[in-house]
Amino acid sequence: MFCRMLLSVLIRQKKKLFLIALTVALGVSLATAMLNVMFDVGDKVNQELKAYGANLNIVPRGSAVINEMYQLDNNDSGQAVQYIKEEELVRIKMIFWAYNIVDFAPFLTTQATFHDKPITVVGTWFNKHLNIPTGDQVDTGMLAMKSWWTIEGNTMTDDNLQGAMVGESVAKQWNLKLGDTIDIISTKTNKKFTLTINNIFHSGGAEDTQIYVSLPVAQDLADKKGLVERVEVSALTTPENELARKAAQDPNSLSRTEWDTWYCTAYISSIAYQLEELMPDVRVKAIMQVAESEGSILQKTQLLMLLLTILSLICSALAISNLVTANVIERSTEIGLLKALGATNTAVAMLILTEIFIIALLGGVFGYFIGFGFAQIIGHTVFGSFVEPKMIIIPLALIMVILITFLGSLPALRIMMFLRPTDVLHGR
């Protein structure tokens, strides 16, 4: 009997029930899209922010001590006191969080003269191919880390030992153009080097007054074969929390459980610690302005997604409340007759909720797939890549359907409970 009544209602009220299904589908689709993006946005936002530079700086331990003692910045402290062996840099990709290391590039700064004027020459990797002892192969270098630079000319390669990237200020000062040759003299060895201008770049910073060359050229200029001064590292990290800040102050203060959690999470402090474990002669310093900005942007983005999800569910619940209430009022005679024949409030409520939940579940299924499509559009438009489906969204979507349907039906159920057969059947 219950099933016959349920089927009859679904057939007779199909237009109104379709509106309920459509409302649920719209609410669930927006919530599903936001949740999919929210769960996937961490890596994508981090990846986007990596285009704006490094968040870790590796320097020799001796240089770090002196810089901290005299409150110097490593980039402005003059000639390095100690150096890092270039051959050790492959260890950067051998830590526990190796796959979170997006790019890294070594730098060696030396002084030279050009037209009897002092000029800074910086050696680096542009796009170095490395064979890691673990069997992996990576391409890394400065060009990927400085993607906001405006560069004229063909891409500089690491095997180009006669080429140079000249800063915009230097090029304007000496009226230099692509293809011109320049003669620089090392202030360290008095060697003369003839270089061809391969690129002219604009960075918007102090780099515009410098010349960039392949690392072996700078090592020859500085007479520091196989050595580098510092290494910039760009890593995907998890936003800092209290545990990460506590570990950054003193890792030894952590309990065993805290230690395991911290070490196995991609906090910037744990990545720095692991790098120092494999490279004991270096000091790894987090560039906190970058790291904290990344965490702040990520948290605000995720909070925005969550608020949009909550608002969409509230709007859906309100819309369902209006539709179900109108449906109950329209069927007041039918409900009054059921009560007059002995049906309890619970039995009538079960009938109403069952029909609403069946329609809501159908709407929720369609809403999930529509929402996943919205998520792909957002991912492709904002991040240039598709959003991976998250299986946890399926049970969350089911919970959302049940929640908004039940909450939206409460006002209608309250009206039904106080509906008396004598009021609606009088005169019929």
Percent of the chain with pLDDT over 70: 86
Position 40 scores a pLDDT of: 78
Residues sharing a CB contact under 8 Å with residue 7, sequence separation 6 or more, in sequence order:
none
Position 71 scores a pLDDT of: 47
Structure tokens at 323: 């539709």
Position 380 scores a pLDDT of: 83
Residues sharing a CB contact under 8 Å with residue 85, sequence separation 6 or more, in sequence order:
226, 227, 228
Position 77 scores a pLDDT of: 42
Position 220 scores a pLDDT of: 94
Higher-scoring residue by pLDDT: 250, 77: 250
Q: Work out the mean pLDDT of the chain and round it to a whole number.
A: 85
Q: Which residues of 219-236 are buried (b: 16+ CB within 10 A; e: fewer)?
A: bbbbebeebbbbbbbbbb
Q: Which is nearest to 356 in space by CA: 313, 398, 399, 323? A: 323
Q: What are phi and psi of 202, to 5 degrees?
A: -125, 120
- The DSSP 8-state label assigned to residue 251 in this structure reads G
Residues sharing a CB contact under 8 Å with residue 1, sequence separation 6 or more, in sequence order:
none
Higher-scoring residue by pLDDT: 333, 120: 120
Stretch 351-355: mean pLDDT, rounded?
A: 81
> Where residue 78 falls among pLDDT bands split at 50, 70, 90?
very low
Lowest-confidence segment of 7-11, 211-215, 355-359 by average pLDDT: 7-11
Beta-bridge partner residues of 111: 120
Check pLDDT > 90 for residue 160: yes
Beta-bridge partner residues of 114: 117
> Where residue 427 falls among pLDDT bands split at 50, 70, 90?
low
Position 9 scores a pLDDT of: 58
Q: At what angle do helices 288-330 and 345-378 cross, to 10 degrees?
A: 140
> Domain residue spans in the chain?
2-47+295-425, 55-286
Check pLDDT > 60 for residue 74: no
Position 347 scores a pLDDT of: 83
Position 297 scores a pLDDT of: 73
Check pLDDT > 50 for residue 69: no
Higher-scoring residue by pLDDT: 399, 248: 399
Integer angstrom CA distances of residue 390 from 151, 327, 372, 375, 396: 39, 36, 10, 11, 10
Stretch 23-44: mean pLDDT, rounded?
A: 84
State the SS3 of 64-117.
Answer: HHHHHHCCCCHHHCCCCCCCEEHHHHHHHHHCCCHHHEEEEEEEEEEEEEECCE
Check pLDDT > 60 for residue 159: yes
Check pLDDT > 80 for residue 249: yes
Check pLDDT > 60 for residue 325: yes
Q: What are phi and psi of 150, to 5 degrees?
A: -95, 115
What is the DSSP code string of 197-219? Answer: EEEEEE-SSGGGGEEEEEHHHHH
C-alpha atoms less than 13 angstroms from C-alpha of 93 in its C-beta half-sphere: 20
Lowest-confidence segment of 153-157, 289-293, 331-335, 348-352 by average pLDDT: 289-293
* Type of residue numbered 115: H
Position 54 scores a pLDDT of: 82
C-alpha atoms less than 13 angstroms from C-alpha of 419 in its C-beta half-sphere: 30
> Where residue 328 falls among pLDDT bands split at 50, 70, 90?
confident
Stretch 164-178: mean pLDDT, rounded?
A: 95
Which position has the token pair 């800040």?
245
Residues sharing a CB contact under 8 Å with residue 103, sequence separation 6 or more, in sequence order:
50, 140, 141, 144, 145, 233, 234
